[in-house]
Every structure is written in structure tokens, then in C-alpha cells.
Amino acid sequence: MAIRERLNLAVSTLRVDSLQAQACRRQQARCAHQPLPMAPSLRLTYFDFMGRAEPIRLALSIGGVPFQDERLTLNDFAALKPSLPFAQLPVIDVGGESLAQAPAILRYAGKLSGLLPRDPIAAMRADEIIFAVQDAIADFGPSTAEREAARRLEMRRALAAETLPGRLEMIERRIRGRGTEYCAGEEMTVADLSVYCFFRVMRGGDGALEGIPTGLVDAYEEICAVCGRVEAHPKVREWNDAHRKGE
């Protein structure tokens, strides 16, 4: 092939690539601004405390997404448990379909409320914080299941002295390393709600946690700063005022 023909072919290829790139950008811009379809009727079911459901409640409330906030007693849960997808709470009923697993429900609530980033990398930054908090919550499992009071207290003290500081320091480092206002960037996401609700529980927002000093979390400046920004949000203040118990 002659040199001129090769040059013409290269120019044509570049033009095609450029047109395709422009079309892709236009499509992405259209998708980025498309509102999500109207959510079907939602019923969120959990216990009458914050736990794993509070970030979901907050996300839906902040986004102005209507939902039924169903709160069960332990007896209610025992009766319902066999019918639950994974025999645990929370679950959310979406237009008649029951769906489970707190992180999945939180991400869904984030999509409905605009609190889950559309950018895949930004969304993954949020996800890693959400799952880091889930790891910390799971650390309470063995002591919560322990029925012997003295042994349970011993396990909680070990948790406060050894396990939790490591968990919290890892989250602290991630936020500090990003140098942003919130956990995953400059805008509030469901990751920040997850951290905020966990810290409220640690500070006694659901009643004192046996064996866990309420001031344990105060040493983590970056996390405390994020929690302060979340708590200052008008919708968060409104929700807290309406549902405050023993803080």
C-alpha cells in the first residue's frame, strides 16, 4: 500500500474513532442526568433500633423517597423468621418482592435517593467503606450471642481494647488519604451514612453498649469530622429529632 493511501486510511480511522467517542460521551451525559424511575411501594422491616437499618432509613428520608418503616419486636421476628430470604433482618419489600442483605438494600436506597455515585470508581470507594463498617458490626456478633454476662463483658472489653481500634484506624486512614470532605469524595454518599450511624451506636445512640466506652470513637478526627457534616444535614437533623431515644 502506498504511503499516501496509508495516511488516508489512518486519518479516516481517527475520524471514526473521534465520532464514536463523541457519541459515547453524549450518551453518558444523557444517562447521567436521567432521573431514576419512580420507586415502587417500599416497606423496610427491621427492629425498633438503629442497627443495620438506620443508614437505609436515612438515605430514603434524605432522598424524599416514601417508605413504610416497619419495626418488629423480637416475638414478631421469631414468627416472621422462617419466611425471610436469609432468616435475618433487615428486609425490604419492593412492590411485593422481598429482598435482603443490608449493604444491598443500602445501595438500592442510595440509587433512589441520589446518594450512590454513578461513577464506578467513586461507587467502589463508597462500597469499601460500607463493607468496612459491616466488618466492624460483625465483630460484635460473638459477644452479642454470649449469654453468660461476665463472659460477654470480658469479650466486649477485649473488642474495645484490641479489635475496634484497628478497624476504626483503617477507616480513618482511608478518609485522610483521600483528603475529601466525605468518605468517598466531596459529596455525601451512603458510605457516610453508614459510618455516621455506626458511630452514633458506638456513642450510645441505641442505648449503652455494654463494655464499650462511649468515648472510644472520639480519637478518630477524620471520621468525627465526616459524622459532624452528616449530622448537620437538615434532613438528618429532622429524622433524628423525630426518632431520638436515649442520647
pLDDT (tens digit, 9 = 90+) per residue, 38-72?
668 999 999 999 999 999 999 999 999 999 999 99
What is the distance between the alpha carbons of residues 221 and 152, in angstroms, rounded to a whole number? Answer: 29
Q: Can you tell me whether residue 243 is helix, strand or coil?
A: helix
Q: Are residues 129 and 218 in the same domain?
A: yes
Q: Could you list the residue range(s) of the whole structural domain that residue 208 is in?
A: 120-243
**Beta pairing class for 97-100 and 42-47:** unpaired
Q: What's the number of domains the chain is made of? A: 2
pLDDT band at 33 (very low <50, low <70, confident <90, very high): very low
Write the pLDDT tens digit of every residue in 95-149.
999 999 999 999 999 999 999 999 999 999 999 999 999 999 999 999 999 999 9
105 and 145 housed in the same domain: no
Cell of 152: 460477654
Amino acid at 29: A
Residue 179 — left, alpha, or beta (φ > 0 → left; ψ -120 to 50 → alpha)?
Answer: left
Tell me, yes or no, whether 107 and 127 share the same domain.
no
Residue-wise over 151-169: b if at least 16 C-beta within 10 A, else e? ebeebbeebbeeebbebbe
Predicted confidence at residue 124, as pLDDT, reads 97
- Average confidence score pLDDT of the chain: 87
With cut-offs at 50, 70 and 90, classify the pLDDT of residue 37: low
Q: Reply yes or no on whether the pLDDT at 239 is more than 50.
A: yes
Q: Do 109 and 125 reside in the same domain of the chain?
A: no
The DSSP-derived string for 114-175 is: T-S-SSHHHHHHHHHHHHHHHHHHHTTHHHHH--SHHHHHHHHHHIIIIIHHHHHHHHHHHH
Return the residue matching grid coordinates 411501594.
Answer: 41
Range of lowest pLDDT (25-29, 71-75, 241-245): 25-29
- Whether pLDDT at 8 is above 70: no
d(CA 129, CA 193): 10
Give the strands of the sheet with 97-100, arranged side by side.
68-72, 42-47, 91-94, 97-100
Residue 195 in contact with residue 129, Cβ under 8 Å? yes
Same domain, 208 and 170: yes
Among residues 64, 164, 153, 71, which one has the least CA distance to residue 114? Answer: 64
Domain termination site, one of 62, 81, 113: 113
Collapse the DSSP code of 27 into the 3-class scheme (helix H, G, I; strand E, B; otherwise coil) and give the result: helix
Per-residue pLDDT for 20 more than 50?
no
Count of other CB atoms within 10 angstroms of residue 57 = 20
- All 3 cell numbers of residue 155? 469479650
Q: What CATH number has the domain bearing residue 79?
A: 3.40.30.10
Q: Report the C-alpha gap between 92 and 69 in whole angstroms.
A: 10
By the 10 Å C-beta count (0-12 exposed, 13-18 middle, 19+ buried), 9 is classed as exposed
Task: Using only the alpha carbons of the chain, give its radius of gyration.
Answer: 23
Is residue 138 domain-shared with residue 224, that is, in the same domain? yes
Residue 62 domain flag: yes
Average pLDDT over residues 173-196: 97
Is 182 found in the same domain as 140?
A: yes
Q: Of 73, 88, 113, which one is at a domain's C-terminal end?
A: 113
Residue that terminates a domain, selected from 113, 146, 164: 113
Residue 205 confidence (pLDDT): 79
Tell whether 109 and 132 lie within a shared domain.
no
